[in-house]
Amino acid sequence: MNRRIFGAFSALTLAFGLAVPASAQTYAIQGGTVHTGAGDAFVGTVVIRDGRILAVGADVQVPAGAEIVDAVGKHVYPGLFDAISGLGLTEVGAVDVTNDAREQGNFNPHLQAATAIHPPTEHIPVARANGITISMAAPQGGSGAIAGQASLIGLDGWTVEEMWIDPGAAMVINYPTLGGGGGRGRRGGGGGGSWTQQEERYEAAVTQLDEWMDAGRQYYQAVAGGVDVRRDLKLEAMVRVVNREIPVLLSANGERNIRNAVLWAQRQEIDYVITGGTGGWKIADWLAENDVNMILSGTQSMPSGSDASYDEAYANPGKLHAAGVKIAFATFNSADSRTLPYEAAQAVPYGLPAEAALDAITKNAAEMLGLDDRIGTIEPGKLANVIVTDGNPLEIQTQVTDLFILGRSVSTDNKHRSLYDRYRSRPSRRVIS
């Protein structure tokens, strides 16, 4: 990925695109089976210091003064990554005042989800308890084509600033739909009418997207050439896209819409990942040939249409993987983020290898989005997002016993667990005869 820096346009990224320093506490996770995501599992030690992985191996020297975490008989994994979520943006879906995931208007490339995140949300501790340590909080577009910038956050912090890893990590674009099979698609021909009318709306929507891309290029050329232009925050954001400084999360569902989105992204010469991906299996070989990466919506969903197989959503990931398409999973909302490992697990009986399912909720999305130098695996130098479990994270009975986010030891307590404990200990009702 071309990470060219463009003067003032990248100043904000340089200021805020680094992880907030974590506690200086040093931890040594000892005796567990370590699944680094970058090689074979082994029994060993993971050392965490200053928010990062300091060392990992079978024979690691534990620094003096380190706090020991006993992981004997347990497993150590990279923290799970919800590659597109609404965590921190939505509290109660049916209550408008608790939703801050979208803005008015069709084109908002300058907006960053990070500015709207509410750290005390009840959804974050619940997600953490299931091993999710990192999230790409993404704006929802509604009817908008360019929804704004998705923000990479660690799921711990009193303030938004403490959670930020990269507030402008990717641009969210909802590619126009044409005809049926739109799924999560937002704009274009899906509004009904004759086929000609649908095509006209689709072409008009694509033309608007093209105009924004062209405007970003022209703005960059003008400023780079020393032309005195009025500052435009929207176009500055588009510069980062057309210069391939950040990837595009390109929403498309249904084989026709996915193919159209890929061809558009290729024509624009941008870095992108297809998101949603419903029905992608129908063109799996073509996607593999075009080196397309996909962040899939949940497997636990209804078929895309009345003529679709009942198990379409379960089988889609396995068929894509078998064809050679790199996949990741995401929940696309706030309340369901806790189910991320089970979305991946549901695909395993339908053809997705278990190891590939685990990769799809850890390192794959990091690689797709150009973030693998910071997250996704347990390797020295990377941000310390680590979970300790009593089993495989894909198994619903598995418990997360220890949790580290940006090097901080974080409690797994949450409202769900407290309610469970409360009612489990409720005295049985005595029946009076």
Say if 43 falls within a structural domain.
Answer: no
Measured distance CA(342)–CA(359) in Å, rounded: 13
Question: pLDDT tens, 299-331?
Answer: 877 777 777 788 899 999 999 999 999 999 999
For the segment 417-429, the average pLDDT, to the nearest whole number, is: 74
Higher pLDDT, 171 or 423: 171
Instruction: Indicate the number of domains in the chain.
Output: 1
Token pair in block for residue 30: 């000892």
Pairing of strands 272-276, 294-296: parallel
Say if 422 falls within a structural domain.
Answer: no
Say if 329 falls within a structural domain.
Answer: yes
Token pair in block for residue 339: 């189910």
Question: pLDDT tens, 11-51?
Answer: 444 344 444 444 568 999 999 999 999 999 999 999 999 99
The residue written with tokens 């819409």 in the block is 257
For the segment 200-228, the average pLDDT, to the nearest whole number, is: 94
* Residue 133: alpha-carbon gap to chain centroid: 11
- Looking up residue 366, the CATH number of its domain turns out to be 3.20.20.140
Measured distance CA(224)–CA(7) in Å, rounded: 9
CB 367, CB 377: distance < 8 Å: no
Q: What mean pLDDT value characterizes the chain?
A: 87
Question: pLDDT tens, 72-120?
Answer: 999 999 999 999 998 888 766 655 555 666 666 789 999 998 888 888 8
Structure confidence at residue 5 (pLDDT): 36
Share of the chain above pLDDT 90, in %: 68
Structure confidence at residue 420 (pLDDT): 74
Say if 246 falls within a structural domain.
Answer: yes
Query: Over the range 229-246, which residues count as b (16 or more CB within 10 Å of their CB) and which as e?
Result: eeeeebbbbbbbbbbbbb
Instruction: Report which residue type is found at 78.
Output: P
Measured distance CA(389)–CA(329) in Å, rounded: 20
Say if 270 falls within a structural domain.
Answer: yes
Say if 429 falls within a structural domain.
Answer: no
Say if 172 falls within a structural domain.
Answer: yes
| pLDDT at 10 > cutoff 50 | no
CB 288, CB 323: distance < 8 Å: yes
Say if 209 falls within a structural domain.
Answer: yes
Measured distance CA(404)–CA(386) in Å, rounded: 5
Please give the residue range of the domain that contains residue 150. 7-13+79-374
- Whether pTM exceeds 0.85: yes
**116 three-class SS:** helix
Token pair in block for residue 246: 């950040």
